[in-house]
Structure 1
Amino acid sequence: MPTEVLHRLSTLSLTSVKQLGRLPRLSSSLPALPAPRPTLAASEVPTLFREPHILSGYRPAGQPWSSYLLSTFQWHNESMNVWTHLLAAPLLLLRCWSLLEGAGGPWRLLGDVAALPLVLYVVSALTYLACSVAAHLLQSRSELTHYSVFFLDYVGVAVYQYGCALGHYFYGSEPRWRDDILGGLMGAVYLPSAALLAWMSCACCCFAKAHYRRPYPPRRKVVQLIPTGLAYVLDISPVAHRLLVAGDWQRDDDGALGFHAAQVVFFMMAAMFFSYPFPECCLPGHCDIIGHAHQLFHFFLALCTVCQLEALFRDFLARRAAILDVHGGELVVGAGVSFFVLVLCCLATAVWMRRTVQKRLKDQQA
């Protein structure tokens, strides 16, 4: 990994640590959650809210919305899940602004059709971060809220998947990848397939969340990971081609490939921690507040996004003049329209699944 990549990541990490260091002081200055105890043991909360090997740090259900908003600054087992992505969003915006300033100012992108996929990528990244923060911050209020915000979280993930696909296709793909793979059809099927797999990822994750009960069987993870994994393999294929086949390392003057390699490494680490509850499976009760797998998943996914932004922006600057000549303005605009169509389809899926769960919960209470 290039020295520049390590330097930028270390700078961002130090900034994040300094911000997180303020959390205990903020926590001590704010009122505790309005309950006999601010957090509860796993045995004291409904089964739906329990996580494997996490034995304490659960917030009580049924509190006012303000209690869960205030819990942003309280210590519980979702604190780091919230803060890892809550800090990543402004860091991403600040870095994006800095990159645009270095390229002549953000206003130069206005009216530039070639910049549309980059703008949509940034929107998709901020969307998944915001949805993730909302899910982990508010999910403890009630069972219906729990399902609703995690359905929204899956919408954010699907939107981010397609945002990545747009960036990789328009800025990161090589002619040989578009013309040689699948007999020259890769360029024609890539974006429709990426959109379909993104929606399937949202639908399957929503279905798995609604259908399976805790303790979750292994097939639930399979239902979630298969479409998500297929989407990632397709979305990253232009970058993988450049890293492994095209031999771009010899002419990587702008340093984009180093950041592309870093984003792949960080995503693989994030996927590993998402797939298996380590280290809490070896240390039940010792990683409840800090250090469990989902927190590490969030951390490495945020690093992946930061590196991805750097790589795509460098690719955009290097190839900006030729983007419309290579792909055509109609395809770029059409891809932008398809982005919003995907958002609507995913939202409709989440709303439908929420109504299904709401009906089931009402039937159970009757």
Structure 2
Amino acid sequence: MLSLKLPRLFSIDQIPQVFHEQGILFGYRHPQSSATACILSLFQMTNETLNIWTHLLPFWYLLAPLTGLIDNYSWPNACVHVHQLRVPACRPSCAHTFSSMSKNARHICYFWTMAPSTFSSLGSAIAYSAYTFPDMLVCTTFHDYYVAMAVLNTVLSTGLSCYSRFLEIQKPRLCKVIRVLAFAYPYMWDSLPIFYRLFLFPGESAQNEATSYHQKHMIMTLLASFLYSAHLPERLAPGRFDYIGHSHQLFHVCVILATHMQMEAILLDKTLRKEWLLATSKPFSFSHIAGAILLCIIFSLSNIIYFSAALYRIPKPELHKKET
């Protein structure tokens, strides 16, 4: 009879410090796992298993709205869907699945997943610029340079998030601050027209059913940020939430819900404001969208290559604890 031996799991005092997660005591994979062992861990209850599946499963749900996006007016909507799909696809495959192969592999996996995460802010900015801007900000100087600044923010935030990995052991608090800033700053920039619309003057065309979805998206994003930063509930009861219910799993669920709310809001604005937007502003062309994305890809890849190379050329102190 065929049998499959699953990889052995370890406790926190059996692995190098670079793999430690606050409040998580058990369920760690071998710090030098093979690629096969990493794939097998998808079907084994480790402290990473639900991190993987809470992003992998919603990928198929988010894939559905990609049909029928063909005209110029719909290109920004297609863009945000593709960018939001990239996040749930890359996180489990790059970061959570293969991050236990080695210390450097862990860092490089997260480099590759941080770039799509910050890159998704560009997709949001393009869609917001096309469909969600309040009436008074359409065709203003702010509107003209809004997407260009989003491109710059994406490049800067990718660099910051990659750099934070080098501070993880010696300066964990600074690492966390920089990492949160790397995600918060582009989100705040992208959301400026939404803040203006919700709290100041939306304009006649922007007073529609999408408003409640924008509000829910904002609430879920704030909750996701809190969970990511606070490490709750495992911080209050170390070892009790190692496999189910720790903050990173809850963070993933909130991110997916926030993404759903955002996509619904954008789709409603796209549909309900179409006549007004086409009469007052020029739709994005495919070349404009492709140019912004290409710039982000080039500079973000440059960031990833630079910081990946730095892992091998910058001497680091000994990070290992004695293994048992």
Fold-level similarity (TM above 0.5): yes
TM-score (norm: length of structure 1)? 0.80
Write the mapping of 1:1-366 to structure 2, written as runs, cut at 5 A: 31-34=4-7, 38-94=8-64, 96=65, 106-107=67-68, 109-110=69-70, 112-134=71-93, 135-178=95-138, 184-209=140-165, 211-214=166-169, 216-247=171-202, 252-253=207-208, 255-329=209-283, 333-360=287-314
Corresponding position of 1:26: none
The one-letter amino acid of 1:208's match is S
- 1:335 CA drift (Å): 3.2
Once the two structures are overlaid, the 10-residue window that deviates more, 169-178 or 315-324, is 315-324
Structure 2: unaligned runs, 5 residues or longer: 319-324
CA distance in 2, matches of 1:175, 1:250: 7
Q: Name the count of aligned residue pairs.
A: 317
Structure 1: unaligned runs, 5 residues or longer: 1-28, 98-105
CA distance in 2, matches of 1:43, 1:330: 54
Preserved contact between residue 269 and residue 300 of structure 1 (Cα < 8 Å): yes
CA distance in 2, matches of 1:317, 1:250: 11
CA distance in 2, matches of 1:249, 1:53: 49
The one-letter amino acid of 2:169's match is R
Distance 1:305 1:58, change over 3 A: same
SS where residue 58 of structure 1 aligns? coil
Distance 1:122 1:217, change over 3 A: same
CA offsets, 1:140-161, max 9 Å, x none? 1111210111001111111111
Preserved contact between residue 76 and residue 284 of structure 2 (Cα < 8 Å): no
CA distance in 2, matches of 1:342, 1:227: 15
- 1:216 CA drift (Å): 4.2
Distance 1:326 1:345, change over 3 A: farther
TM-score (norm: length of structure 2)? 0.90
The one-letter amino acid of 1:76's match is T
Distance 1:215 1:290, change over 3 A: farther
CA distance in 2, matches of 1:237, 1:60: 44
- 1:123 CA drift (Å): 0.9
- 1:136 CA drift (Å): 0.7
Quote the sequence identity (%). 25
SS where residue 138 of structure 1 aligns? coil
CA distance in 1, matches of 2:130, 2:78: 12
CA distance in 1, matches of 2:41, 2:227: 25
SS where residue 55 of structure 1 aligns? coil
CA distance in 1, matches of 2:277, 2:151: 21
SS where residue 73 of structure 2 aligns? helix
The one-letter amino acid of 2:41's match is S
Distance 1:60 1:235, change over 3 A: same
CA distance in 2, matches of 1:313, 1:156: 22
Distance 1:264 1:32, change over 3 A: farther
Distance 1:139 1:240, change over 3 A: same
